[in-house]
Amino acid sequence: MGEFDNKEREEVFSKKVRAGKRTYFFDVKATRSGDFYLTLTESKKRLEDGVFVKHKIFLYKEDFEKFAEGLNETVDYIKNHQEVIEKRYEYSDNHEVSGTKGHDDFSF
């Protein structure tokens, strides 16, 4: 194995989304041959020990269209069968979180 095999791929682009108690990371990385792929990571802090638990999936460009179709169809189903209420969180300077409820259309 080469030295590069055990290292994380270099991030080309990254977007961090805070959503209540979870944070989502959308990271674009490159393969050795220069092809881009996407990693989606959910990070949530466990209350009992303060450890951040992460779940990650890898999405390759040949799967983008089918993935987006499935995601949109699923979101549309939820929007059409149940009112979607998103909790809005505001972060203060002292890192306290306060929530307010509001509606969101979840457009992609």
In a domain, 92, yes or no: no
In a domain, 108, yes or no: no
26: left (phi over 0), alpha (psi -120 to 50) or beta: beta
Range of the domain at 22: 11-81
pLDDT given at position 6: 39
Amino acid at 29: K
Number of domains present in the structure of the chain: 1
CB atoms within 10 A of CB 6: 7
In a domain, 100, yes or no: no
d(CA 87, CA 99): 6
Q: How many CA atoms lie within 13 A of 98 on its CB side?
A: 5
| pLDDT per residue as tens digits for the range 18-77 | 998 899 999 999 998 999 999 999 999 998 999 999 999 999 999 999 999 999 999 999
pLDDT given at position 9: 72
| pLDDT per residue as tens digits for the range 84-101 | 776 665 554 444 545 544
CA dihedral (96, 101, 104, 108) in degrees, to 10, reads 30
In a domain, 69, yes or no: yes
Question: Could you tell me the CATH number of the domain that includes residue 29?
Answer: 3.10.450.700
Give which of 108, 87, 76 is closest to 19, Cα–Cα. 87
Is the predicted pLDDT of residue 105 greater than 70, yes or no?
A: no
Is the predicted pLDDT of residue 5 greater than 70, yes or no?
A: no
